[in-house]
Amino acid sequence: MLLLTPGPTAVPEDIRMKMSESTMHHRTPEFSEIFRQTREKLKDIFGMDEVILLSSSGTGAMEASVTNFCKKKALTVNAGKFGERFGKIIKAFGFELVELKYEWDTPASVEDIKETLLKESDIDTLCIQVCESAGGLRHPVEEIAKEAKRINPDITIIADGITAVGVEKIDTTYIDLLISGSQKAFMLPPGLSMIGVSKDAVSKLEKDGGKGYYFNLLTELKKQRTNTTAWTAATTLIIGLNAVLDEIRSIGLENFYNETKRRSLASKEALKAIGFKIYPKSPATSMSAIYDEKAEDVRKILKSKYEVNIAGGQDHLKGKLFRINHMGLIKPYEASWVLNVLELILDELGVREYKGEANRVFNEVYYKI
């Protein structure tokens, strides 16, 4: 089965092998050295001063960022399941919430954010996705963060980059916390999350103290700066992550991003060429989200007959959306295979005659740009 869901993504064989070695104790010089290396390489990819690793899925890092930094009132952008999740976390901890809601295909407007921040000057935290995975949507996060800081230099900007870090270069100049998880662009099994932390956010944390116990980011930061973790580290995943980061380094970060971009662009062009409609108005690089009334039939045939697993839609888009992953190391022949069988399926469903068009367009775009 070819796993092409936008998380979890397929784990490369050499990484799986690396993680199958015998278990290492987490309080040893050997593991500390791996941990140190991993954090250094991560700082590079995040383009931030500090990185904190947590043993949790991505949502744990979302929660930790909110609980350690929000003081009273947060502004969230809800253009899908993950934006909605920030709102739920904020409410669960009793903070005040101002939520800007958008249809799942619509990116947040910088003007709306500015207007809200000017009107509600006691908002101390802004939470937004870089890519909202529910609809494969890219928000203009960099610009939003910049404008928000212009209005309130003290505001904390929490950006969920789980389907953006390791996909494309993100300008982190105005971002305080940038969240990522192991099971998307980092091609690992789920269970590890990472937070890039700005210099300002480190100062805030040191000045105001961390909050909570397990997810106390000050406790973690202090420990991680000494190359260990506060609690038992997710050793196997960190060993895997270190190996993934080595692999990305050997390819070169720029080349790795460029490869993802070409694959994403070529796939989107091929999908359009065979009549599919790209769902979001500002498509993310990490995935292709297609709106189609027959999305469920397409996915079923894809899985049962052609052994390809892609994701569907959630909530009001259930049965009407399918999403193909472009994150990680995917061979061009795997990426084009999916598009080819999608074209075969369209023929099977009586929508459009098979002409080998998807593969032609994919190859043309992928190898010519």
Ligand X SMILES: *Cc1c(COP(=O)(O)O)cnc(C)c1O
Binding site for ligand X (CB under 6 A): 7, 57-59, 82, 129, 133, 160, 162-163, 181, 190
Q: Kindly state the helix (H) or strand (E) to which residue 40 belongs, with its residue range.
A: helix 29-46
60 three-class SS: helix
Helix/strand/coil percentages in the chain, nearest 5: 45, 15, 40
Q: How far is the CB of 314 from ligand X (least distance, A)?
A: 11
Q: How far is the CB of 182 from ligand X (least distance, A)?
A: 8
- Is 235 within 8 Å of 241 (Cβ atoms)? no
For ligand X, the closer of residues 7 and 196 by Cβ is 7
DSSP-assigned letters across all residues of 270-288: HHHHTT-EE--SSB-SSEE
Length of the chain in residues, anyone? 369
Q: How far is the CB of 346 from ligand X (least distance, A)?
A: 28
Rounded CA separation 320/353 (Å) = 22
- Is 184 within 8 Å of 204 (Cβ atoms)? no
- Is 242 within 8 Å of 182 (Cβ atoms)? no
Q: How far is the CB of 181 from ligand X (least distance, A)?
A: 5
For ligand X, the closer of residues 325 and 359 by Cβ is 325
Q: How far is the CB of 44 from ligand X (least distance, A)?
A: 22
For ligand X, the closer of residues 236 and 340 by Cβ is 236
Q: Are β-strands 96-101 and 73-78 bridged in parallel, bridged antiparallel, or unpaired?
A: parallel
For ligand X, the closer of residues 188 and 298 by Cβ is 188
For ligand X, the closer of residues 67 and 340 by Cβ is 67
Q: Which residue is nearest to ligand X (CB)?
A: 58
Rounded CA separation 222/122 (Å) = 30
